[in-house]
Amino acid sequence: MAVKRREFLGHMAAGSAILTMPAFLQGCGVQSATAVSQATPENPFMTWFGVNQATAARVMSELTARGADASDLYFQHTRSNSLRLEDGIVSSASSGIQQGVGLRVVIGEQTGYAFTEDLTMPSMLAAARTASAIASGNAVAAPQAFNPLGTGDLYTTTVPWSNVGIDQKLPVLKFVEEKAKAMDPAIEKVAVYWADADERVMIATLDGKLVTDHRPMTRLTVVVTAKRDGEVQTGYSNIAAREEFGWYSEERILKMVKEAVDRTMIQFEAIRPPAGEMPVILASGASGILLHEAIGHGMEADFNRKGTSIYSDMMGKKVAEPFVTVVDQASIPRERGALNYDDEGNKAGRTVMVENGILKSYLHDQISAKQYGLGPTGSGRRESYKYSPMPRMSCTFMEDGPHTKDEIIAAVDHGIICETYTNGQVQIGAGDYTFYVKNGWLVEKGKVTAPIKDVNIIGNGPESLKRITMVANDARLDTGGWTCGKNGQSVPVSQGIPTVLVSNMTVGGENVS
């Protein structure tokens, strides 16, 4: 049946968080054949539902009738599209409309939440009364009018996805397949997955702000299966960004295709490394997964205000060498994790979590910022109108250090280089975290000697930070389509890092004696 069975793991795994890559198995949606391209109005709420300032004020007033320190209305309309090419045919498309409004009341650390997909006044007022039940005080003065803030410019597009027809997208998928197949005769199958979405949000807050944001997103994934002497291997690559159709240049696509083919073919020669502790070199780019798991989640202030994070008592202390600076920044144009405003209507910006080795700032939502007596860091995010926001990462990266990649490799007597990843996870309290290495290299006596594959790496966050002994000058953000899951909510994120040496981590491997 199409009923989605409720996923309880999200609740049960509270205190742990996961990061995943291979989302291509789920359809994310596509739309619009040329014949019927029905352009979406820029602010569909006003146009389609008659939600204007007065409506928002009326609902807000009902929402705060029993008291509130803060409250917000989060209107969302998302049109998503996806296409799938398998066995040479683009024979499946999906599309979706996700529309609704989330209503939230906050009193101290308490949250009341409701949503409705029926944007009529009676339904919105009923949802407001449900959300307000958490409170039991007197009404607060709700704004009669809201002050519209300027729209951000981090991912402005000239052509929204709703105006791009399947006839334009289809040749891209065919091109990917053709180029991948041509790269190696051992390639038996190529699958290509396309996703795009136009998300529009409008946030009205109790303090009178009105924020609108159009958040485009796209992702292209290629999966390659090759056979050699009866052995089969699969590999993939993908690229994602808050971008428009014109972003998909031939050069960009070919680079992705080559990555997928290289990652697949190298597995025929790759070995599992020996098991145990050893120095680990993290290649620049996607290895930012280390930061996401080892420190990023532990710095989300909801865990710290509850005292459940291993970083709860470390603010202002030295946690790493002076050449280690770790940043979470939403204001990087067009990145998958970029945001003009967070999902509480605060301007999203740049938060330095570790500066020259010193722990500097948590990532806050409104609730934690108020509790710590600080301004918001613009880190309050939510998956959709169905969820209340919490502190989340956006684009997490480490800044350049004083070493070079060659120096780092030369410094390792026996260890590995990690290059591509599928997923990671962290256990917030104990600080243990892992990431799964799909492709990498063995390093012996300062030289790269053999390809490796399929090993999980496990470490402890604060211990790993201390063990970052070298940082190169080649920082870059990964272009892959990462999705972060926490308490059952998924949000798009980006990550990056320069080449880094961690002096000791535990590498999953075989050949244990």
Name 109's Cβ contacts closer than 8 Å, sequence gap at least 6: 305, 367, 371
Q: How far is the CB of 308 from another protein (least distance, A)?
A: 4
Asked if 332 and 303 touch (Cβ cutoff 8 Å), the reply is no
DSSP string covering 102-124, please?
EEEEEETTEEEEEEES--SHHHH
Q: How far is the CB of 145 from another protein (least distance, A)?
A: 27
How far is Cα 434 from Cα 424, in angstroms, rounded to an integer?
Answer: 5
CB nearer to another protein: pick between 223 and 241: 223
CB nearer to another protein: pick between 456 and 473: 456
DSSP classification of residue 262: H
How far is Cα 101 from Cα 203, in angstroms, rounded to an integer?
Answer: 9
DSSP classification of residue 403: B
What ranges in 51-116 are assigned the alpha helix state H?
A: 53-63
* Residue closest to 291 by CA, chosen among 395, 378, 417: 395
How far is Cα 242 from Cα 83, in angstroms, rounded to an integer?
Answer: 18
Q: How far is CA 40 from CA 43, 78, 83, 157, 383, in A?
A: 8, 10, 20, 14, 21
Token code pair at residue 297: 């989640």
Asked if 289 and 435 touch (Cβ cutoff 8 Å), the reply is yes
Q: How far is the CB of 462 from another protein (least distance, A)?
A: 7
CB nearer to another protein: pick between 141 and 512: 512
- Give the number of other Cβ atoms within 10 Å of residue 151's Cβ: 13
Q: How far is the CB of 474 from another protein (least distance, A)?
A: 26
Name 48's Cβ contacts closer than 8 Å, sequence gap at least 6: 41
Q: Taking the CA atoms of 53, 54, 60 and 63 in sequence, report the sign of the dihedral they define.
A: negative
Asked if 325 and 319 touch (Cβ cutoff 8 Å), the reply is no
Token code pair at residue 391: 């502190």
DSSP string covering 346-394, please?
PBP-EEEEEETTEE---B--HHHHHHHT----S-EE-SSTTS--EE--S
Asked if 260 and 181 touch (Cβ cutoff 8 Å), the reply is no
CB nearer to another protein: pick between 32 and 163: 32
CB nearer to another protein: pick between 272 and 334: 272
CB nearer to another protein: pick between 255 and 317: 317
Q: How far is CA 132 from the centre of its chain?
A: 31
CB nearer to another protein: pick between 288 and 424: 424
- DSSP H or E segment with residue 461: helix 461-466
Q: How far is the CB of 118 from another protein (least distance, A)?
A: 8
CB nearer to another protein: pick between 114 and 395: 114
DSSP classification of residue 334: T
CB nearer to another protein: pick between 208 and 429: 429
Q: How far is the CB of 307 from another protein (least distance, A)?
A: 4
CB nearer to another protein: pick between 431 and 498: 431
Q: How far is the CB of 195 from another protein (least distance, A)?
A: 14
How far is Cα 289 from Cα 165, in angstroms, rounded to an integer?
Answer: 35
CB nearer to another protein: pick between 54 and 430: 430
CB nearer to another protein: pick between 293 and 335: 293
- Give the number of other Cβ atoms within 10 Å of residue 55's Cβ: 18
CB nearer to another protein: pick between 52 and 120: 120
How far is Cα 78 from Cα 97, in angstroms, rounded to an integer?
Answer: 6
Q: Taking the CA atoms of 405, 409, 415 and 418 in sequence, report the sign of the dihedral they define.
A: positive
Q: Give the pairing type, strands 500-507 and 380-381.
A: unpaired
